[in-house]
Amino acid sequence: MTQLTLQMPESAFAALHQEPNEFAQEMRTAAAVKWFELGRISQGRAAEIAGPSRADFIDALSRYRVSPFQYTAEEMEEGMRDVD
């Protein structure tokens, strides 16, 4: 695993009422959720980034109000045609 070092103002932790390790975990989760939402990574890869489990990642999707399903508009239309 690669370790990143970020410089953050102390006020960032206070604003979110989090300790640095909690803040780092929240950043990982938020980034993974957004990248998944944008379709840049799969749900499995996003769960790996967010850690610690896929179930926790799916819970995070709910908290961020992001659907756990990734479908393009074309896939949705095709699925709707198959219903008829």
pLDDT(15) > 90:
no
DSSP 8-state assignment for residue 11: H
43-55 per-position pLDDT tens digit: 999 999 999 899 9
Tokens 């850690």: give the residue: 51
The pTM of the full predicted model, rounded to 2 decimals, is 0.78
As a dihedral over the C-alpha atoms of residue 71, residue 66, residue 36, residue 2, rounded to 10 degrees, the angle is -160
Whole-angstrom Cα distance, residue 58 to residue 79? 23
User: How confident is the model over 21-44, as a mean pLDDT?
Assistant: 93
